[in-house]
Amino acid sequence: QIKDSATLTRDVLEQHFSDLKGTLKKLLDERLMCLLQEVDVIEQESIKPLDECQKLIEHGVSTADDLLREGESAVDGDVEQQNEKLCNFTKKALHIQLDSLPEVPSLVDVPCLSAQLDDCLLTILKNQIFRHGTVASRPPVQLEEFVEKPGGILVRWCKVDDDFIAQDYRLQYRKSTASHFEDVYVGSEMEFIVLHIDPNVDYQFRVCARGDGRQEWSPWSVPQMGRTTLVPHEWTTGLEGYSLSSRRNIALRNDSQSCGVLYSKAPTYFCGQTLTFRQTVGQPDRRDSLGVCVEQRNGDDSLQRDKAVCISTNGAVFVNGKEMTNQLPAVTSGSTVTFDMEVVQLGPCSNEGGNFKLRVTISSNNREVVFDWVLDQCCGSLYFGCSFSYPGWKVLVF
């Protein structure tokens, strides 16, 4: 592990700094090109009026030179030609303003280009580069526990650096056959149930953290393998009043007038596990139910019957069809209802009745009720079910 992680760390550092060099060179080249373009623009804009002024002066000098030659020619000729030439020379000289020159800007008004390059950038870069990157011998968080769930895995992690104050955690996973990790949770909790896990398939997990007030994430924990052997919970198909998701773990009470109890596909709930329902609420009715039962029974419109325990959407708890005096809060949208059961054996398992007892805990909205459920037969596994009188209810089971 030490050699492998050291080799991987070297590769990551070399690749990162190689990318930085390329990016910095590209940025410096772009800045240089921008400054050179500024020089070109200033030069072109500043030199244009001076070029025009120079052309005017050169034209005036040329005109004066031609006039001078014409005057010299007029003086050198005979008297009649002199008079005519002198007359023409005088007329031309009056029309040419030899004392007129274009306005020439003073020297201090003429642009003088220069480049201002101080050393502060190098100082800033030097300080930033020397602080850039760290090498950690141990990540501040590590994976602690995997708990099998039906079609999922409960992943727990813990801090191993007491001085590290975590603001958020980030959990990733991938199938053992996949090449890339993907985010599955980002938040402040230190556990998360990863759903949609195929049974008997290895998944690799890793977690990291973000320090309080920081933007960057810590190094990843040591990746660990997790798997579940428990098949996912599924609702049974074919009941007219309910529409199911593709994975059949979400049931939606549709607009059909048909009513009845939607059961699980198989008795996949075992004692010692936690069964969780998460729902989106519709219009409640006192006959609504969420719960578990010993057997599927067609014809019932609710789990408020014998050989079943359930909670109504108004918070009432029913055991074998009888309402308990203890009541839970009404079911709300986005909240969870959980069922936990453990076996309390009164005597040898038989079918004579009354000698098989389950300790049941139902939790909803941070409150719970605990009671003993007496059955007349041993039950290694149970069905779960739901019933809603009105459309709009949606239930995820896991």
Q: Phi/psi class of residue 338: alpha, beta or left (left: φ > 0; alpha: ψ in -120 to 50)?
A: beta
Q: Specify the pLDDT at position 44.
A: 86
Q: Specify the pLDDT at position 112.
A: 83
DSSP-assigned letters across all residues of 182-238: EEEEEES-SEEEE-SPPTT--EEEEEEEEETT--SBPPPPPPEEE---SPPP-BPS-
Q: 251 and 202, same structural domain?
A: no
Q: Specify the pLDDT at position 80.
A: 66
Q: Specify the pLDDT at position 378.
A: 82
Q: Specify the pLDDT at position 102.
A: 62
Q: 207 and 181, same structural domain?
A: yes
Q: 367 and 335, same structural domain?
A: yes
Q: Specify the pLDDT at position 73.
A: 74
Residue 88 lies in a domain: yes
Which amino acid, 163?
Answer: D
pLDDT at 152 > cutoff 80: yes
Residue 79 belongs to domain spanning: 1-109
Identify the DSSP state of 301: S
> Cα–Cα distance between 206 and 183 in angstroms, integer?
10
Q: 222 and 248, same structural domain?
A: no
Residue 339 lies in a domain: yes
> Which pair of tokens denotes residue 390?
């009105």
Q: Specify the pLDDT at position 98.
A: 59
Output 4 or 350, whichever has higher pLDDT. Answer: 4
> Cα–Cα distance between 166 and 213 in angstroms, integer?
9
Q: What band does 157 get if pLDDT is binned at 50, 70 and 90?
A: very high
Residue 121 lies in a domain: no
- For residue 317, the SS3 value is strand
Domain end: 180, 197, 228, which one?
A: 228
> Which pair of tokens denotes residue 208?
């990291």
Q: What band does 97 get if pLDDT is binned at 50, 70 and 90?
A: low
Which amino acid, 293?
Answer: C
Residue 122 lies in a domain: no
Identify the CA nearest to 311 among candidates 340, 296, 291: 291
Q: 248 and 324, same structural domain?
A: yes
Q: Specify the pLDDT at position 81.
A: 67
> Cα–Cα distance between 121 and 31 in angstroms, integer?
13
Domain end: 85, 109, 133, which one?
A: 109
> Which pair of tokens denotes residue 22?
């390329």
Share of the chain above pLDDT 90, in %: 56
Output 9 or 18, whichever has higher pLDDT. Answer: 18
Per residue in 174-225, pLDDT tens? Answer: 998 888 999 999 999 999 999 889 999 999 999 999 988 888 899 899 899 9
Residue 81 lies in a domain: yes
Mean pLDDT computed over 357-373 = 94
Residue 188 lies in a domain: yes
pLDDT at 13 > cutoff 80: yes
Per residue in 65-95, pLDDT tens? Answer: 877 777 777 677 666 666 777 777 777 767 7
pLDDT at 348 > cutoff 60: no
| CATH code of residue 150 | 2.60.40.10
| CA atoms in the 13 A half-sphere facing the CB of 181 | 16
Q: 219 and 279, same structural domain?
A: no
Q: 212 and 251, same structural domain?
A: no
- Within 8 A by CB and 6+ apart from 23, the residues are none
| CATH code of residue 372 | 2.60.120.920
- Which range is least confidently modeled, 34-48, 51-65, 162-176, 326-340? 51-65
The count of domains in the chain is 3
Q: 151 and 67, same structural domain?
A: no
Q: 91 and 33, same structural domain?
A: yes
Q: 187 and 251, same structural domain?
A: no
pLDDT at 143 > cutoff 60: yes
Query: Given CA atoms 73, 78, 79, 83 in this order, what sign does their dihedral have?
Result: negative
Residue 120 lies in a domain: no
Residue 117 lies in a domain: no
Instruction: Note the pTM of the prediction, 2 decimals.
Output: 0.60
| Order of strands across the sheet that contains 224-226 | 182-187, 166-175, 203-211, 224-226
Residues in the chain: 398
Q: 392 and 274, same structural domain?
A: yes
Q: Specify the pLDDT at position 294.
A: 94
Q: Specify the pLDDT at position 91.
A: 74
Q: Specify the pLDDT at position 200.
A: 94
Per residue in 31-46, pLDDT tens? Answer: 999 999 999 998 888 8
- Which range is least confidently modeled, 109-118, 160-169, 230-239, 327-336? 109-118
Q: 261 and 375, same structural domain?
A: yes
Output 57 or 185, whichever has higher pLDDT. Answer: 185
